[in-house]
Structure 1
């Protein structure tokens, strides 16, 4: 055998060894296991642990104190240790269809489930996820339908004086046609980034499924980074930073509202889009909801569709009573009057009835009622959670561009 052949075989054997080493470790532990009745079993192989718990949004909530106040947080349940050192917990009841997130707590240390490769990041927290089938869970799954394309692009923002990253969904068939499409600009909440809606919001899966079912028009969805002090998500720009609620590595040069024109220019210069008001929509959650109301008011003849999720459309409703609050509210209401005079097809507000921003939403709508501003309100249960925001997207998207 020639020396070169021996070297190649040795290299292949070495590569195979490293490729397979992650599979070593004995019999696999199945976790989570979704049973036929939609109850779920969680397992963790931790023979030396003293205590193992699971925490997640599938459990009854518990109150959590934060610097921003007291909020409903994910509940906690104890696992039981078996003779083989595998800890186990099964939900006492079947779970409703939904996408759920969870983590383990091993001797007071929170960790992910090593048996579950499905993980997502929400601000600075990384958790495992699983989907219970049914409605709406099936909309969040990758089903056997035609799929769109998700691209991460960089655009120039002269207003913010830098290149910035944006996530863009194009529907199935976009690349192979010369057709122009309507656009939804979809904005994240505080602490999020251009990855939030595509990962936590399941935007691509939702839109693939809605379009395949004929429930939504094929559209382009643009998901920018709403923190103008940051160029991109953590690890995706030259400026390293730890994700925090609204923080970043530098001072913002300009606001999201003032810099939004740069995003419009990039999209309408690089994508086949319909460049008129009737084919543009803007929507967002929490901070992104306030951005959506502010952007649509600042560009009052640009969007026929506006979605404000879990946020007061008039942001000043969250301010303490003061002379400044009255002044800024009056200025914004004047912008809403102009927006109303220019006309639009849908102004959709949605909020959970236990959301900490709920009262601000109600107060905003009272102000809008005083000037006869037309909106549609959708109230759901629960609070400031991705479960609600995914539902809002599945309901809002089918109403667009009809």
Structure 2
């Protein structure tokens, strides 16, 4: 991890970063279906291809995960990632990438219905690791023109998806070199389990991002992770910003994190 990343100071997010602009090139957001050997069914995800996407070029991939109350549509519906990314491309502040928005609740009925905290639904967020690694990533690499090495694969998410990103990304450093968590939830493993060998993890990671709102009732999860990483001299970016457990913090996290990766 570079010295500049260790000393990163978050720039103010510009006014209108998440508002549609006229007269700029736009990416394409579409829903795809892929076969899941993990669950034995077909699952849905959304995929954003950047402006000017063409198959003669190979792209990096960001896997962007939702929270416990959402599904593959949550970022699209509430966070407008395609607008944020289109604007960044227009300002020439983003490396070319495809963004995949999966459903992180890996179970046969994966809709966000009923009591979201039942044991089987919580377990489904752990099961997603297998679905992601063995089913979704291979599907994306087979059907899109993407780079397939770890240096061109990132994972990030909000709340429950932030916990998943830390759990999955840091446990699979042979797959991911860029990991981001926006307001990670209590599903996040204890830091000594996430990073049992800080020096080795530091050598492998290109970026570890952690951000949270200062009014977030779940901020203790971020605090304990940040504290452990700091105590063990593990390079990471920690951003404590004004806000609660809500979309302004998560959208800002995407805006800032996406500029730094690849």
The TM-score bracket by the shorter chain reads: 0.7 to 0.9
1:169 and 2:42 matched: no
Match of 2:171 in 1: 298
Question: 1:44-84 deviations in whole A, cap 9, x for unaligned?
Answer: xxxxxxxxxxxxxxxxxxxxxxxxxxxxxxxxxxxxxxxxx
Match of 2:38 in 1: 159
Contact 1:227 1:246 in 2 (8 A): no
**Aligned counterparts of 1:139 and 1:330: Cα–Cα separation in 2:** 36
Map 1:220-231; keep pairs closer than 5 Å. 220-230=98-108
Aligned residue among 266, 282, 285 for 2:158: 285
Question: Once the 2 structures are TM-superposed, how far is the Cα of residue 179 of structure 1 from its aligned partner?
Answer: 0.6
Question: Once the 2 structures are TM-superposed, how far is the Cα of residue 314 of structure 1 from its aligned partner?
Answer: 8.1
Relative to structure 1, the CA distance from residue 305 to residue 330 in structure 2 (aligned partners, 3 Å threshold; closer, same or farther) is closer
Match of 2:71 in 1: 193
Match of 2:6 in 1: none
More strand by share: 1
Map 1:39-78; keep pairs closer than 5 Å. none
More helix by share: 2
5+ long unaligned stretches in structure 2: 1-12
Match of 1:357 in 2: 218
1:267 and 2:140 matched: yes
Question: Once the 2 structures are TM-superposed, how far is the Cα of residue 143 of structure 1 from its aligned partner?
Answer: 3.0
Question: CA RMSD of the aligned region, Å?
Answer: 2.6
**Aligned counterparts of 2:142 and 2:172: Cα–Cα separation in 1:** 18
Question: Once the 2 structures are TM-superposed, how far is the Cα of residue 299 of structure 1 from its aligned partner?
Answer: 1.0
Question: 1:235-271 deviations in whole A, cap 9, x for unaligned?
Answer: xxxxxxx365356998849612232212111111111
Question: 1:179-204 deviations in whole A, cap 9, x for unaligned?
Answer: 11111100001111000111211111
1:347 and 2:208 matched: yes
5+ long unaligned stretches in structure 1: 1-133, 235-241, 318-328
Aligned residues: 248
1:398 and 2:259 matched: yes
**Aligned counterparts of 1:214 and 1:303: Cα–Cα separation in 2:** 24
**Aligned counterparts of 2:80 and 2:255: Cα–Cα separation in 1:** 10
